[in-house]
Amino acid sequence: MKASEIREKSQQELTTTLDELLKEQFNLRMQRGTGQLARPSRMNEVRKDIARIKTVMNEQKSGDAS
């Protein structure tokens, strides 16, 4: 997911996407713990997507404040 795609979404969509990614991250951690993780690289992708979404949300919040 690119930052430009994330910036086009509304605050509600970002919150929903963030919740989904956090659930996916939890499931991936459980799979890794039990040795069933098929794509280890997906862990990094999800973690970075979460960071991108949080960054855009903070940018929008600080943009509204000023």
Q: What is the pLDDT of residue 1?
A: 80
pTM over 0.95: no
- The CATH number of whichever domain residue 35 belongs to comes to 1.10.287.310
Q: Which of 61, 57, 51 is nearest to 14 (CA)?
A: 57
The confidence score (pLDDT) of residue 49 equals: 97
In whole angstroms, give the CA distance from residue 20 to residue 26.
10
* Domain that residue 35 falls in: 3-65
Residue 35 region by backbone torsions, left for phi larger than 0, else alpha for psi between -120 and 50, else beta: left
Mean of all residue pLDDT scores within the chain: 93
User: Counting every residue, how long is the chain?
Assistant: 66
pLDDT tens track for 9-61: 999 999 999 999 999 999 999 999 999 999 999 999 999 999 999 999 999 98
